[in-house]
């Protein structure tokens, strides 16, 4: 199922026949919503359209002469006295889903619906939360990539990402395709400024935000605290994470954050044990964005950066041997996703310097 659109609204609805795979236009939004609700449980064929068969030419060609968005099936029809709106952003980057409620106001997420029902309990029976779906169609990139507006907006986003505050630069963590994401604090930087440098021995973590990917819908959900994130990461393989584990959240809700190149991402590994009591695990990004380093702050306030130093600490402080062992520590570091830093001048400069050193060594040899 697909929609043709332009900034602001949908201009046409269409669906492919499950037999001949030709595109057929759907005359009304209401009819399209009925088809979508029951698809693919009830496959659609040309014969379902009046005066139409698989022998007839396609109603419309699927090509780049229009902006196409692929919609999801099994989205329930809007409840009575409501309307589901799909609005394309002006920069053609994505679409947003809203519901117009009986009071005329728009809801952009299930929390808005829940608030409306609490304020208007008379609608509780006719407007259950399960009847709302805020999933959005996916814009087909090939049909917008030649648009000047889309190209300009993309360039602006890439320029802005060079000026993000530390709080707006996340990283991610993953294993076997299951990713847990973090946001890295780097301080403000532009194409001509290096990230704010940390004092040597700083006990400040480089992570400013944590998130995890649902193993079912693959949407990213923020994790409010470092402690909760570490618990999820420790048991991730044995206890896959789903949206339903977070209060008032389901796979139908929009993603909390998008995985794209507007931020710096790093991939962390699961099954890393939680730091022992009295210690803290720090992950710090280097100033040239080349990699991250892992440290533990020990009960005496000093940092260790490898298991040998942990062993040395335990020898000097035997009273802690019954509380934790060397196996309680993991110095595995998250891997920076190169695609999210390759446009950054700081990273480019660091990479160029490394290459110069390699070339110099080669020439000397």
pLDDT at 45 over 50: yes
In a domain, 155, yes or no: no
Check whether residue 99 and residue 229 sit in a common domain: no
Whether residue 223 has pLDDT greater than 80 = yes
**Are 217 and 90 within one domain?**
no
- Looking at the fold, whether 249 and 134 belong to one and the same domain comes out as no
Residues 256 and 125 in one domain: no
Q: Does the pLDDT of residue 200 top 70, yes or no? A: no
- Asked, for residue 204, whether it belongs to a domain, the answer is yes
Domain boundary among 96, 121, 149: 149
Which of residues 124, 149, 174 is at a domain's end? 149
- Are residue 92 and residue 42 in the same domain, yes or no? yes
Q: Are residues 110 and 177 in the same domain?
A: no
Tell me which of 99, 122, 149 is where a domain ends: 149
Q: Which tens digits make up the pLDDT trace of 277-291?
A: 999 999 888 888 888
Q: Are residues 256 and 331 in the same domain?
A: yes
Between residues 9 and 238, which one has the greater pLDDT?
238
Domain assignment of residue 103, yes or no: yes
pLDDT grade, residue 365 (50/70/90)?
Answer: low
Residue 157 lies in a domain: no
360 within a domain of the structure (yes/no): no
Confidence band of 193 (pLDDT split at 50, 70, 90): very low
158 is a domain residue: no
Q: What is the pLDDT of residue 274?
A: 92
Average pLDDT of the chain, as a whole number: 78
Q: Supply the pLDDT for residue 155.
A: 62
- Residue 132 structural domain: 2-149
Please tell me which residue, 308 or 207, carries the higher pLDDT value.
308
363 domain-assigned = no
Whether 142 and 196 map to the same domain: the answer is no
**How many distinct structural domains can be found in the chain?**
2
**Residues 196, 141 share a domain:** no
Q: Is the pLDDT of residue 56 over 70?
A: yes
User: What is the CATH classification number for the domain harbouring 142?
Assistant: 3.30.890.10
Q: What is the pLDDT of residues 7-44, one digit of tens each?
A: 446 778 999 999 999 999 999 999 999 999 998 889 99
Both 7 and 74 in one domain: the answer is yes
Name 88's Cβ contacts closer than 8 Å, sequence gap at least 6: 5, 6, 7, 8, 9, 10, 67, 69, 94, 95, 139
327 and 187 assigned to the same domain: yes
Task: Determine, yes or no, domain membership for 358.
Answer: no
Query: 137-173, pLDDT tens digit by residue?
Result: 888 888 877 766 666 666 665 554 444 333 333 333 3
Instruction: Indicate if 191 and 328 belong to the same structural domain.
Output: yes
Q: What is the mean predicted confidence (pLDDT) over 175-201?
A: 31
């Amino acid at each position: 199922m697909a929609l043709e659109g332009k900034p602001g609204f949908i201009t046409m609805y269409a669906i492919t026949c499950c037999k001949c795979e030709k595109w057929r236009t759907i005359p009304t939004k209401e009819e399209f919503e009925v088809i979508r609700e029951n698809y693919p449980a009830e496959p659609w064929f040309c014969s379902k359209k009046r005066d139409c068969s698989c022998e007839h030419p396609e109603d419309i060609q699927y090509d780049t002469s229009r902006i196409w968005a692929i919609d999801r099936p099994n989205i329930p029809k809007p409840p009575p006295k409501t309307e589901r709106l799909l609005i394309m952003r002006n920069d053609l980057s994505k679409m947003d889903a809203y519901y117009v409620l009986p009071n005329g106001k728009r809801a952009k997420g299930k929390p808005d619906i829940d608030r409306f029902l609490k304020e208007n309990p008379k609608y509780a029976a006719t407007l259950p939360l399960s009847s709302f779906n805020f999933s959005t169609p996916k814009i087909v990139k090939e049909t917008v990539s030649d648009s000047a507006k889309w190209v300009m907006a993309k360039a602006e986003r890439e320029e802005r990402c060079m000026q993000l505050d530390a709080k707006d630069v996340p990283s991610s963590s993953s294993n076997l395709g299951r990713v847990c994401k973090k946001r890295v604090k780097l301080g403000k930087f532009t194409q001509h400024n290096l990230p704010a440098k940390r004092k040597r021995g700083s006990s400040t973590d480089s992570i400013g935000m944590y998130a995890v990917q649902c193993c079912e819908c693959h949407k990213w959900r923020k994790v409010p605290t470092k402690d909760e994130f570490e618990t999820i990461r420790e048991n991730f393989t044995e206890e896959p994470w789903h949206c339903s584990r977070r209060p008032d959240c389901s796979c139908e809700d929009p993603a909390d954050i998008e995985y794209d190149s507007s931020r710096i991402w790093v991939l962390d590994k699961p099954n890393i044990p939680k730091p022992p009591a009295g210690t803290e695990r720090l992950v710090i990004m280097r100033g040239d964005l080349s990699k991250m380093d892992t440290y533990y702050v020990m009960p005496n306030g000093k940092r260790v950066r490898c298991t040998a130093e942990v062993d040395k600490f335990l020898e000097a402080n035997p009273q802690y041997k019954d509380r934790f062992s060397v196996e309680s520590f993991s110095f595995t570091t998250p891997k920076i996703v190169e695609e999210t830093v390759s446009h950054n001048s700081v990273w480019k400069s660091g990479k160029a310097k490394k290459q110069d050193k390699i070339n110099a060594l080669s020439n000397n040899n």
